[in-house]
Amino acid sequence: YSTLFAFVNFRPFYGPLIEKFANFYTFIQNGLNIWSKFSNFVFFLYIFGLNIQLFIAILFFFVKISLIFINHLLS
């Protein structure tokens, strides 16, 4: 009972501390969420860019092959 009473008396001391810690924790969580979203977006852009490069390379490859084939047919 005495320890409980002491704890209740300490309320003005540990209350704001816990609140500050909670605010800091939520701030860090929000920062991490924003960072993870941003990094996911960057990763998506990177993969998307790689896909576009691959697509263009394959396209050029097919165009080259078709041009060679057309030249072969024409000659």
| Residue-wise burial string across 6-19, b where 16 or more C-beta atoms lie within 10 A, e elsewhere | eeeeeeeeeeeeee
Q: How confident is the model at residue 32 (pLDDT cuts 50, 70, 90)?
A: confident
In this model, does residue 33 exceed pLDDT 70?
A: yes
Measured between alpha carbons, how far is 60 from 54 in angstroms, rounded to an integer?
A: 10
Global pTM reads 0.38
Domain residue extents for the chain: 2-74
**Residue 64 has what pLDDT?**
92
DSSP state string for 24-53: HHHHHHHHHHHHHHHHHHHHHHHHHHHHHH
Measured between alpha carbons, how far is 23 from 34 in angstroms, rounded to an integer?
A: 16
In this model, does residue 8 exceed pLDDT 80?
A: no
